[in-house]
Each structure stands twice: as C-alpha cells, then as structure tokens.
Structure 1
Amino acid sequence: MRPSRAAAIVAAAVLACPAAVLATAPAVAVESKGVEMPAFYDPPTSIPSTPGTVIRTEPMPTALNLPVVFPGTSTRLMYSTTDSNGLPAPATGALIRSTKSWGGPGPRPVVAFAFGTIGQGDQCAPSYGLEHPLLIGIGSDGGTFNANYEVVQMSGLLAKGYDVALSDYIGLGSTDRLHTYMNRADQAHALLDVVRAVRNLPDSPIVAGTKVGLWGYSQGGGAVAAAAELQPTYAPDVNLVGAYAGAPPANLHEVIKGVEKNAIAAVLGYTLNGLIQSYPELRPVVDARMNDKGFAALRDISTQCIPDSAATYGFSSSTEWTKDGKSLTEIIAELPHVRDIVDEQQIGTRKPTAPVLVTTKLSDGTVPHKQARQLAVDWCGKGARVTYVPLGLPALPGDTDRGTLHHIAGVPEGLPTASIWMQKRFEGASSVNSCPIIRALP
C-alpha cells in the first residue's frame, strides 16, 4: 500500500476518535480452535519467490468422506503464491486424482476448485476437511464444529474423470497468518498457483495439452471470477479453458449490506480480520471505531469455522460492534481511504480471455443477485465471452434471504448447468455467449 494512503487512513482514524487515547484492538489470533493442526501446516521461515513452487507434500486419506462416494486419491500440498502486496506467501491445498476413466479428447483435465465460505480458523482449511469431513474438536480453548459440505460438488467432478486441485487460499490452514477472506488478489493468486504447484509435482498429471477449468460458488465463485480475469497477466502459462463462478461476491460494498443481520453475519468479522491482515494501516481505524464487544467478536470469529460462527453470531449487526452504533457500511462511506481498500476488491474491472459462466439466483439476498449480474455485464462490456444464467424467480416482497436459504439453493440449482458447461469446455466446444442479449436478462 502506498505510504501516503496509509498515513491518510491513520489520520482519518484519529479524527474519527478525538479522545486523548485510542484503545488498541487486541491482536487478531492466528490459531485453530479445539484442534491442534498437524505440523504440515506450519510453513518454513523462507518462502520461495516463484509462485507455484512446491514446498512439501504428503499422502492424505479421504476414505471418511461418506456417505458420498469419493472416487479419488489425495495428496496434501504446501506451495508458494503471491499476496496482494506482491510478497511471497505460503498456501496449502490438495490434489485429488480421479480413479474414474477420462473418455474425452486429450489428457485428463484438471479442475482448480475454490471452496465457499468455510471459516477463518486454521482447522477449517478445506484440505484438512478432506481428511476430517465432520470435524468436532474440543479443547481448553473451546470447541469447534465443521462439515466438508463441498465434497458433493468435488465428487461429481471426480466422477467425470477430472482431477481436482483444491486451494485453501492464503492463511487458511497455513499457520503463519490469518486467512485473508475476501481479498480479491490473494484468492485469485492462490487458486491459479495451486495449478502451477500440481504441474510442478514429480508425477504431475498436468502434461502438454492438459486443459484447466476453475470452479467455485459463493466465496469460491469470487475467487474463480478474480482468477479468471487475472489469469491473462498473472498466470498466462495456465491453460485455462473455462471458469464457473457461481454467486460471485464481486462488489464487496453490496455483499456487506447483504450479510448484515444475516445468518452468516459473522463473515463481516472474517472480512474485517482479513483486510487488517492485508492492510495493517486499517488497524487504527478499527481501534478507533470498535467497542469491546466488537473486539471480542473479531478475536473469537478469527478462530471459528462457519457453523461455529453462525451459531454464535448469526443475525448480528455490525452496529453492535461499534462505539457510535454505526454500521460497517456507514463507516466505510465516511472514510474515503477505507472505501478505496474495499474498492480494490471489486471484480469485473479486467477482461477474462477464457470463457466464463456466471450463475446467480434471482432471490439471493446474501450475495446479492444484482451485483453478480453486474459482473457479467461488466465483463461483456470488456469483450469477454460470458455465459450468464439467472436461476429461479425473484424474491417475494420483504424476503431478504436472512436465513441464506436462497443463496444455498443456488448450488444445486446451478450444478447441472455448470457441469454440462464445463464438460463442453473440456471437449473443445464453443460456449454460448450471453452478451448480445444480457441487457434483456434479469
């Protein structure tokens, strides 16, 4: 971050809290709760500067992913990537090699899979969830519960004969830092670099001509969308043939509004914690505006998985966490330099060169439909090839999706379309381009 902006943010924080002494936010915990993470997740002190460098691997059992049939064998990975400040960072993930045959043209394809929101504690890492699909942890620091809900989608991809490369993102699993939730560049880089890491394995399934697809919903949809538009400049060596972005959180301002008083309102805490991790100049702003309840919530949320957070902070409002009772949206609007940081997470400002599929449920108020549609419109305006598929019917008056049911329903509703669309990309068929008619679509 430019020093001038950092100084301006600090100055804004001081002006926002003219008291003689500013309270100091407790340091955000970088830890797991109820679980002691395996030593595999502790990164070395020196991280390779070349993105996609394999740091370490180990075999990983996935047999407990029942009752879903999981046709694959797994290897856990730690690899290098690049954070939003341009610095080398560790990330973890997994390669799941399908045991089903691939009957399509060319080498077996690889799908880079981006998880939906799973939490911020290290124990929530998707790769750890492959080994522990139902996690119940009890320790002196409290308990945790998590479920590997993405195993159904991954199983479907493996059943088609695709290998799956899974990224934990930056800081989720890797114990050196907090998960940088909703950081556009971090999530994109980690997803693209897991493909490079798989390619760099001694027995890599990626050979000349291997086609790569990106797949994700919700947080994963945002990661895919960000990766698709950064791939031409950040990872042109990745042979990307298609990207499925379901319910992508492309406009963080609108998503913050959507999750206020929502069943997953704790993701506001994930977002704040993650932005502070990436932009430490935000800490004085948080120190100036957060009350004791807010500090405690941020600390607690930083160690939780999404079931923990929903049970503890579901339907909360960010107004409960601030000294003056203002919402996070109101505070962002007051501070232009903070707004700039949120603006940096906007997806849709660059053109993807590979075909993209965007699905969004019309009644989704959690990751609001309108901002997901706008992403497709923005990409069309830049000349991208976009297949845009709105799902279902609009919400009834007064239905704001506070229980996230509409958002969750977008997964099974969009799955058949996404599955066929990705298969066609691997077969080499041309995708449907919705751009000529997108203005007429809801």
Structure 2
Amino acid sequence: MSPRTRMPAVVLALLLSTAALVPAQPARAAVTIPAFYTPPNTLPAADGALIRTEPLPLALSLPGISGPLPGRATRIMYKSTDSTGGPVAITGAYLEPAARWTGGGARPLVVLAPGTMGQGDQCSTSLALQRGLIVGTENNQTTLSVGYEVLAVYRLLAKGIAVVTTDYAGLGTTDRVHTYVNRVDSGHAVLDAARAARALPGTSVTADSRVGLYGYSQGGGAVAAAAELQATYAPEIAVTAGYAGAPPADLTGVVAGIDGSELAGALGWSINGFAQAEPELRPILDAYLTDAGRAVLTRLSTMCVGDAILSYAGKRSSAWTRDGKTLAAVIAAEPALKAFIDDQTIGTRKPSGVIRVATGVFDNLVPHAQARTMAADWCRLGGTVVYDPIVLPWTVSPLLNHFGPLLTDQPTAVDWLTRRLTGTPATSNCASLR
C-alpha cells in the first residue's frame, strides 16, 4: 500500500481528536491579517516561483551608513507543492544583510525554518519580524505571539549571510489550516523558499551562493525533512550544510512527550494539520472526539504559542475524547493513524549536505532519544552527520528542558553553520553513534 493510500486512513485516526473540529476553511484569526496573505485563485506552475512581494518594515531596525541595520527585508509569497501533490501558496520574508560577507565567494543564503509559532495566521514569522510582539483581542480571543526567531535571524545577518524565512503551508496564508509538523509540507516549504530567494530581483544572492538550512524544534524537523527531500524535490538547490536542533523526527514519541506539558496545545495543532492534509480522517475523528474536544481544536487553530500556553498548559488529550483515551493510545489503536504517523518519520532517507543535529539530553518535550535515533539512522544510510548532545541541568519543566538548548546552543550553531558556508569542512562523528 503506497504512503498516499495509507495516509487518509491513518490520519483519520490521528485526527480522531479533530475531525469535525477542523473546519474546511480556517477559523478567523484573533488578529486582522493583512491582505497580502490572501493567495490568488491561480498559482504559478513552478515550485518556488514568486507570486507577490512587498517591502517588509522590521520591528527592530536601526539606520546605518548604507541602509537599515541589520538589513532590508522583503515580504514574499511563493508557490510550493503540498503533501497531496497540490499547489499551495506560502509566505515568508527575505532579508538582505547590511553587513558585508567576508567569508570569500558569493554571499551565502540560509533558509531559516521557524520553530513552533502556533496555528493562527497572526503567528507567522514574517508578521513577527514586522511587529515583534503581537498582542490583540478579536472574536472574544486574546492572542500573544513573540517573534523569538529574530535572535537567530539577526545573528546570521550580522555575519553577512542572507536569510530567507518560511511561514510554512497555511501559517499566515488565509486559505487553509497550517499543516503543523507535516514532513513533506515543511520540507518543500524550506526548499522552495531557497528557490524564491534566488528568483527575487535586486539581491546579492547568486547561483553561486552556498545554501545552508537552520531550524530548531518544528524548524529542526523542517530542516531535517528538507535535507532528505532535496535530492529528489529540488536537485538544483545544493545544500552545503544544515542545523537541525531538537527535531521532532518520530511523532509517536513526541506526542507522548507533549501530552500534559506546558505545550499541550501543540497536540491540537498536529491533529488539525493532519485533518487539513487528509480530509478523509475527519469522520474517524468524530468517532473519538467529544463536543468539548472539537471546540478545543477549533479554538487552537487560531492560537499562537503564548495563548496556547496560557490556556492549555498541563492539559491532557484524554479530556478531548469520549472514552478518555490519550492521543497516543488512539494512534496505537488505529492502524490507519499509526501508518500516517509512521510516514511522517524522519531518518529513513540519506540527507544532503553535512547536518549538525543538536538536542538537549534532558529534553523530554521533544524527546532527546528520538532525535539521536534520527542522527544514528542517517549515519547508517551514509549521511554526513555531526551529532552534538547539549547538556544542561534538568528541570521539572519540559518546556524549559526543550527551549533551554535553543538559547544556549544558538551562538555555537550559527558559528558552525557559518564555517561550513565559508567552505571549511566538518568532520562527521558517526563513529560515536551506535
């Protein structure tokens, strides 16, 4: 049975918590979304083709001698292909650095894949770059979104590296629900962002620019997926190196880690996203969800990380189902759902470029073990992998155990990626991974 044949049934099960709750069209966001984010009715044929662009004012910008610091930003919308093989419009941002590139050769390009921002369109990284902190109340809902990825973006710009960020499928664009942690959707979004950046006029990126990938958490999974898909989906985008921090490579393990944590709302985003990708799953969801569970999923579909933590920290998915089953138990009980989840696994294909996989050894939100397993599986497939376990003190908070390494490892990750983009090789430590 092909993955495409298995997907519907499987997701149906996963969406057991989301079937009727996921609307055919996304619910209205808690903040008004600019008209730029509404896709046109007809999309270009080519993946990575630009649909529209406009100047993007940055929330944090200073005047410089030759232009704004850290650079000039452009909001972009580009075409990609989703996991069903259909066309999808994706938004993002390209940032041209004010700093010179001193590493030799053409200025390199890094695709930054954002970490978890939420599922409401107002949570998109391109809007966060413009607004910094998004706080608003509409439709009886308060939203709170912090553009934390600006830290990594500005570190890269300070090195003279051009950056393009993706908002992923359905995050920002108003025509569909964001397909959270969907392996193919996110991998394609990353690779097509590189294509779009190359097509953007008036930049210093050229065909000779080395390409790097950077992401943590959801972004780490997107980078890992893109590295696996590059050879077949975007062979002309040669990936020099990538940083995949704390990637959710095995969703079965991640579901168990997130349930009952501060970020329990991410379970709803996963379910909503799977239902968006595979509408046939919705009837299966109905068999498990209570009316209250459906209401939770609908509400989560318009939330950002901040509001989800405030509203659902510590909640368990068992409260959403009729028989009290957790989402992990539902997945185990439904072969179709398990098959869909298995198809999302990252680590089954050789990655392109050298990839640094870093994960906190005490990360129990996006469990350390499953990320390390992905790195080891890549090694067995002949990939060039640098595995780096991050040791920080254990805390009682899974959220801190997960986001601590994001901050402490970021300078190292940016420096490591910069060296690869100068042409300095990295030595794989696959021999240390069993």
CA distance in 2, matches of 1:32, 1:212: 36
Tell me the CA shift for residue 393 of structure 1.
5.2
* Residues 218-257 of structure 1 mapped to structure 2, 5 A cutoff: 218-257=217-256
Shift of 1:236: 1.1
Q: Which residue of 2 aligns with 1:40?
A: 36
Name 1:19's counterpart in structure 2: none
Q: Could you say if the C-alpha distance between residues 242 and 287 of structure 1 is closer, same or farther in structure 2, counting changes exceeding 3 Å? A: same
Cα deviation, 1:382-435, whole Å, max 9, x if unaligned, reads 00110000011584xxx6x54411111111222232122112211111112111
Aligned equivalents of 1:7 and 1:229: distance in 2?
A: 23
Runs of 5+ consecutive residues of structure 2 not aligned to the other structure: 63-67
2:7, 2:340 within 8 Å by CA — same for their partners in 1? no
Could you report, residue by residue, the CA deviation over 1:331-377 in whole angstroms, capped at 9, with x for unpaired residues? Answer: 11111111111111100111013100000100000000000100100
Contact 2:212 2:242 in 1 (8 A): yes
Name the structure 2 match of 1:340.
Answer: 339
Paired residues of 2:72 and 2:96 also in contact (CA < 8 A): yes
Trace 1:39-78 onto structure 2 (pairs within 5 A).
39-64=35-60, 71-78=70-77
Task: Provide the residue aligned with 1:20 in structure 2.
Answer: none
The TM-score normalised by the length of structure 1 is: 0.92
- What amino acid maps onto 1:213 in structure 2? G
Deviations 1:37-92 (A, max 9, x none): 111000011112210010000001004469xx960110000000010011111000
Contact in 2 for aligned 1:70/1:158 (Cα 8 Å) = no
Separation in 1, partners of 2:45, 2:302: 28
Whole-Å separation in 2 of the counterparts to 1:81 and 1:345: 19
Q: 1:28 to 1:298 in 2, by over 3 A?
A: farther
Distance 1:225 1:55, change over 3 A: same
Name the structure 1 match of 2:431. 436
* CA–CA distance in structure 2, aligned partners of residues 321 and 65 of structure 1: 44
* Alignment partner, residue 135 of structure 1: 134
> Is this contact kept in 1: 2:220–2:246, CA < 8 A?
yes
The verdict on how the C-alpha distance between 1:73 and 1:256 changes in structure 2, with shifts beyond 3 A counting, is same
Instruction: Deviation per CA, 1:251-288: give whole Å up to 9, x if none.
Output: 00000000010000000000000000001111111111
CA distance in structure 2 between the aligned counterparts of 1:100 and 1:315, rounded to whole angstroms? 44
Q: Say whether 1:415 aligns with 2:414.
A: no
Q: Distance in 2 between matches of 1:57 and 1:247?
A: 32
For residues 306 and 393 of structure 1, do their structure 2 counterparts lie closer, same or farther at Cα, with a shift above 3 Å needed?
Answer: closer
Identity of aligned residues (%): 45
Indicate how the Cα distance of structure 1 residues 24 and 373 shifts in structure 2: closer, same or farther if over 3 A, else same.
Answer: closer
- 1:390 match: secondary structure: strand
Q: What SS does the corresponding residue of 1:404 show, helix, strand or coil?
A: helix
RCO higher in 1 or 2 (8 Å CA, sep ≥ 6)?
A: 2
1:335 to 1:63, Cα distance in 2 relative to 1, 3 A: closer
User: TM (normalized to structure 2)?
Assistant: 0.93
Q: Separation in 1 of the partners of 2:11 and 2:227?
A: 34
Contact 1:221 1:244 in 2 (8 A): yes
Structure 1 residues 276-306: Cα deviation after superposition (integer angstroms, max 9, x where no partner): 0001111111111001111010000000001
Which residue identity lines up with residue 421 of structure 2 in the other structure? F
Report deviation, 1:141: 3.9
* Residues 72-118 of structure 1 deviation map (CA, whole Å, 9 limit, x = unaligned): 11000000001001111100000011101111110111110010000
Aligned to 1:362: 361
Contact in 1 for aligned 2:27/2:298 (Cα 8 Å): no
Deviation at 1:12, TM superposition (A): 8.1
Q: Residue 172 of structure 1 contacts residue 179 of structure 1 at CA under 8 Å; is this kept in 2?
A: yes
Q: The residue matched to 2:167 in structure 1 has which SS?
A: strand
Counterpart position of 2:65: none
User: How far is the alpha carbon of 1:36 from its aligned partner?
Assistant: 1.1
**Correspondence list, 1:225-374, <5 A:** 225-374=224-373
Looking at structure 1, the residues matched to 133 and 213 of structure 2 have their Cα atoms a distance apart, in angstroms, of 26
> Residue 436 of structure 1 aligns to a residue in which SS?
helix
| Equivalent residues, number | 425
